[in-house]
Amino acid sequence: MAHRLAQIGMVLLAVAVVAMVLLIFDVVSAFTAAVVAAGAATVLLAGLWVALPLAIRERGEDDSGRGRPRPLSAVRRPR
């Protein structure tokens, strides 16, 4: 449940960031530039928050880069 709420919070944060980029660029420059900047921000956020973690998961690496840990069932216990 907490994981799902964190994901929803990240999506809402991304929407807020893109909306602010759109608003700021619309006020400072033309609407076309605002749409382009908001699109670039969307691609950047999607790449960093979705595509990159999925690529790391697909390669099978953890945060240390040493690969996935073995499951407990594969660990030999001393007798």
Residue 31 confidence (pLDDT) = 95
Residue 66 confidence (pLDDT) = 63
Q: Is the pLDDT of residue 62 over 60?
A: no
Confidence tier at 60 by pLDDT (50, 70, 90): confident
Instruction: Please choose, from the candidates 38, 14, 43, the residue with its C-alpha nearest in 3D space to the C-alpha of residue 30.
Output: 38
Q: Which residues contact 45 (CB under 8 A, 6 or more apart)?
A: 14, 17, 18
Stretch 29-57: mean pLDDT, rounded? 92
The distance in angstroms from the start CA to the end CA of the chain is: 39
- If one counts every other C-beta atom within 10 angstroms of the C-beta of residue 18, the result is 19
Q: Is the pLDDT of residue 2 over 70?
A: yes
Q: What is the mean pLDDT of the chain?
A: 85
